[in-house]
Structure 1
Amino acid sequence: MQVDEFRHGVRAWLDDHERDVTPSADAAVSVAAQLDHQRRLQRMLFDDGWMRWGWAQQVGGLGGSPTLRAVLGEELTARAAVHTTSWSMHEVLGPAVAQFGAPDLVAEIFPRLLRGDEFWCQGFSEPEAGSDLGSLRTTAELNGDVWVVNGEKLWTSFAHHATRCVVLARTGRPGSRGISAFLVDMNTPGVAARPLRTMARVEEFCSTSFVDVEVPAHRLLGDVDGGWKVAQHILSCERGAIFWQRGAWLGYHLGLLLDRADETGSAAALGQAFQLLWAFRATSKATQERIATGHLPGPEASVDKIMIGAAEQAVFDTARELLCGAIESGDTPAAQSWRREWAYARAATIYGGTSEIQRDIVATHLLELPRSA
């Protein structure tokens, strides 16, 4: 299916199902309600075929360019039918599991992910290993035909609602070369996810512990000590369709602010936010085009990460200025939703690799400058 034809079809489907695709007010402030709405919507999209386009037939898809998936996410987030944080998880983790997972396992579970019957999370960061993943301490030791995993992960988004988790663990020597990746069922004995309440008063993140967790050998993703390759694949996917749909989400919120601009400084702030957002969108579009030709983003995608962090903070800082105290003290569902987004934007220059580290990557890999001290 061609991209224009697909976009037209998705828009018509969304218009026809407007009541079903519009989330309740609770979904704006409750993670559980947000995920319940997403699951229902995914089932509808899957059963009508839209959720399957852009994925290979061997994983339950209908084929076609990955751009189709980016378009679907863009159309959904551009009208706030789904929230980008939860919608992004299958796009972040799905391609790597499809690429590195055992074919029989992938064929069995992947359609469940696409249909919303399963939700997966990402176990990378640790209390003392965030952006520096090479220093992670979670271990996996082979015992017969099972791997025994021990350790703790931090900031695992939606882990308390997830069916499975892609976990990085040390299986060899120190550093990135001794890391392996596993697909772990969250109901395995020894796995415990403890929600962390954020400054936006939502429980999206978790501290997730693994105590003598037995993982079947066929749940290894890729090769033993080859987890860094899996991790890089996942991190590259974060810079792809995920950023594109995040840009659409920001555009939706910026559009809500247009009628609040006046002829004073607020209009200037709104204009600057638009400038930053559309500069990012132009860069992200080029990234989408490279992905469509089979090239995963490399170091140049760090530019995308820096730009989206700046745009996101500009959008919601502008909202705080124009909404006149609603973010600080409003108690309506709309005010709570804006507060959640503003608080989340504070972390935009931290999650997915800090802006400082991204600038180091740009300096050393693209500009060939000496690494900072």
Structure 2
Amino acid sequence: MESSTTKLMSKMPLICLIVFSIVWWYFFNHDLWLKDYGEAKSDWLLLIDMAITLPIICIVCINPKKLALLKSLSYFALFVVIGSYIIPKQHQVIWPHLTELRYILLFGFVFIELSVISCVIFAIRQAILRNNDPDIAIGKPIKKLVGNGVLASLLKFETRVWSFVFCSRFIKPSAYRGEQHFSYHLKEANQSNALGFILMICFEIPLMHLVIHFVWSAFAANVITIVTCLSLVFFVAEYLAMSRRPISIDSKFLYVRYGVFNCLSIPISDITMIKLSSGYIRRGPNIKRFNFSGNPNICISYQLNNNDVETVYLGIDNPNSLVSALAINHTHQSKTLN
């Protein structure tokens, strides 16, 4: 109950922003007795809600307060954009100056965000240097900031990408949870193929930019180049993670890590089948594939909490060793439970 109330409170500033926008749009575009039937339409009235009311709501409803401040600044900039549309042009006196101020706010917001990201990366780097599990080092600060959920998963993924780009030389496979670690970067020359793909993208970017610039437009060329560069960052992180982020097992769990994607933890006691695999595997509702190239060589089925069975296909360098280790651990756990 408390968590649902907290979630509702965190959404209150956005709800209020929408309500304020509708109310002020009606105020500026309809003749009411409140504004002397169209005679008084001063745009500074909107500043009361924009600069005072909404920031107070953010501070009251959002924790931590640093996040509340960032939300206040972002809503202020958004309110400036909304105001330029809902206030008639003939009544905009202060607003033309505020539209110039939004660029300063945007710069400040980006600077603060980059500072926060730098601090998180520094904290993760220190944890990695202490030989802590990099996934735990990434997950802890994000969990404190946004809790668990879809947003947390996305932030973990994004942070992991940048961590491998900037801190990969400090990451060792042995630092991850697990007693035995298994690699997958040599299968079908996965890492070599990834490097070739990265070099191909690097060669393509300037040529593609020039072609789009002259054939289409400079703006489209810039947008596509930026998106391509961001995808290149992902591929570089994936390439670096292949040989550093292993699949691992301990006495209780199988930790499926593949590249930079989020870890899948499978209780060994829930595993119902372990076998070698060959041939093409089609996608399915209860099928997950972790394989870069070629066909996966291990099939693992396990029981979910709702009694459904999910099957995971893995492609690793030495499938026999993982199958043997899982079988031994599974047998040991069954004897312990009995």
Range into which the TM-score falls when normalised by the shorter chain: under 0.3
Select the structure of larger CA radius of gyration: 2
- Give the TM-score taking structure 2 as reference length: 0.25
Higher helix share: 2
Structure showing greater relative contact order (alpha-carbon pairs closer than 8 Å, 6 or more residues apart): 1
- Give the TM-score taking structure 1 as reference length: 0.23
